[in-house]
Amino acid sequence: MGIPQPTFYIFKCEQSAPPGFPKPSCVSANNPESQQLFQHLAQKLMEKGIIAAVQPVRTGCLNRCQLGPVMLVEPGHYMYVGLDKEKIDRIIEEHIIGGNPVQEYLIPKEYWDEPMSIADVIKMAGGA
Ligand code: FES
C-alpha cells in the first residue's frame, strides 16, 4: 500500500507587513492574536489527532488582504476570512471533522466569485 494523500490541506496566509505599512496583512503587529493563529491551528489538529490527514501549510499572500486573517481549505476552495482562534476551532470541529463548512466565516461572494475559465484568461491575455 502507498502513502495516503492528506484529506485536507489548510493554507494559512502568513504574510506580514512591516509596522506602519499602509496595506493590511494577515499577520500584523497591530493584532497580536494574528501572529499566533498558525501555531494554534497546528496545535488543535494535533490535539484532535488528525494532523496526519489534515496538513496545515504556511503560505504567502492570497490576495484578499483586506479581509484577513484568511485561510484556504482544500479541496473545495473554501476561503475563510476574519479569523481568530475561536473561529479556527469551530472550522476544525464543523468543517474538517463534521464535514459542514462554517458558512458565516466564509468570504462573501462578491470577493470570491466563480473561478475564471483558463481559456478566457488566455484569450484576454492575447495568447493562442
Ligand atoms: S496578506 Fe493575507 S491575503 Fe494578503
pLDDT at site 21: 79
- Residue 88 confidence (pLDDT): 98
Tell whether omega for the bond before 69 is within 30 degrees of 0, i.e. cis: yes
Asked whether the beta carbons of 97 and 59 are under 8 A apart, the reply is: no
The verdict on residue 59 lying in a domain is yes
In a domain, 2, yes or no: no
Share of the chain above pLDDT 70, in %: 98
Q: What is the pLDDT of residues 50-61, one digit of tens each?
A: 999 999 999 999
Q: Would you say 78 and 70 are in contact if contact means Cβ atoms under 8 Å apart? A: no
In the block, cell 463534521 appears at 98
Let me know if residue 105 belongs to a domain: yes
Please tell me the predicted confidence (pLDDT) of residue 121.
Answer: 94
pLDDT at 128: 61
Residue 62 falls inside a structural domain = yes
Q: Does the residue 3 lie in any domain? A: no
Chain segment 10-38, per-residue pLDDT in tens: 999 999 987 777 888 999 988 999 999 99
Say what the alpha-carbon torsion angle 18, 24, 29, 31 is, to the nearest 10 degrees: -170
Could you tell me if the CB of 67 is within 6 A of ligand 1? Answer: no
- 1 within domain boundaries: no
Q: How many structural domains does the chain have? A: 1
Q: Is 41 in the pocket of ligand 1 (CB under 6 A)?
A: no
Mean pLDDT of 98-114: 98
- Cα-trace Rg, the chain: 16
CATH number at residue 43: 3.40.30.10
CB 17 near ligand 1, within 6 Å: no
Which region, left, alpha or beta, applies to residue 82 given φ > 0 means left and ψ of -120 to 50 means alpha? Answer: left
Closest ligand 1 atom, residue 67 Cα: 3
Domain that holds residue 62: 8-124
Confirm whether 86 is domain-assigned.
Answer: yes
Residue pLDDT, tens place only, 70-96: 999 999 999 999 999 999 999 999 999
